[in-house]
Amino acid sequence: MMPASIRFLLAGIAAATLHACSSTPAKTPAAAQAAPAKSAAQTPSTATARPDPRLAPPAASRVAPVDRIVAVVNDEVITQNDLSVRVDLVAKQLQRQGTQMPTSDVLSRQILERMINDLLQVQLAKETGIKVEL
């Protein structure tokens, strides 16, 4: 079972992602106060209101995820950035040694499994009172 703090964190990330990706921008109280209400005499009934381009969501090409969670190990997470750094390090080491490189999917999966096992060992050591120096 996932701890409540991680569930709330993930729910907040999901809500922020949904808000950022929604096609209709939500009006903030400041935006609602800044735009004065027009009377029926000021706006013709046949005219359609044009959306304010400043309130439009960013273009899809400019929206990029900063990071994402690839594994949850008890109460700790492994992010895509953590995994990418480790994959790059291992790939450089294999190239220096002249070892044949596995496919990127296989290499990523193996490294993620290793990172999970390492994190589990460190967590178990902390729970049992073993001092771990890295």
Please list, in sequence order, all residues whose beta carbon lies within 8 angstroms of the beta carbon of residue 74, skipping any fewer than 6 positions away.
120, 123
Structure tokens at 109: 């999966």
What the chain holds in terms of domains, given with CATH numbers, is: 1-64 (no CATH), 65-134 (1.10.4030.10)
Confidence (pLDDT) at 64: 73
CA distances for 105 relative to 73, 101, 108, angstroms: 21, 11, 5
Confidence (pLDDT) at 77: 96
pLDDT above 70 for 80: yes
> Which band of pLDDT confidence, cut at 50, 70 and 90, is reported for residue 133?
confident
Beta strand residue intervals within 68-120, DSSP E: 69-73, 76-79
Structure tokens at 134: 């890295």
Asked if 86 and 115 touch (Cβ cutoff 8 Å), the reply is yes
Interval 30-73: pLDDT, tens: 444 444 554 444 545 555 777 777 776 666 666 777 899 999 99
Confidence (pLDDT) at 60: 61
Asked if 75 and 103 touch (Cβ cutoff 8 Å), the reply is no
Please list, in sequence order, all residues whose beta carbon lies within 8 angstroms of the beta carbon of residue 122, skipping any fewer than 6 positions away.
132
Asked if 80 and 70 touch (Cβ cutoff 8 Å), the reply is yes
Task: Please state, in angstroms and rounded to a whole number, the distance separating the CA atoms of residues 55 and 29.
Answer: 13
Output the furthest CA–CA distance in the chain (Å, rounded). Answer: 79
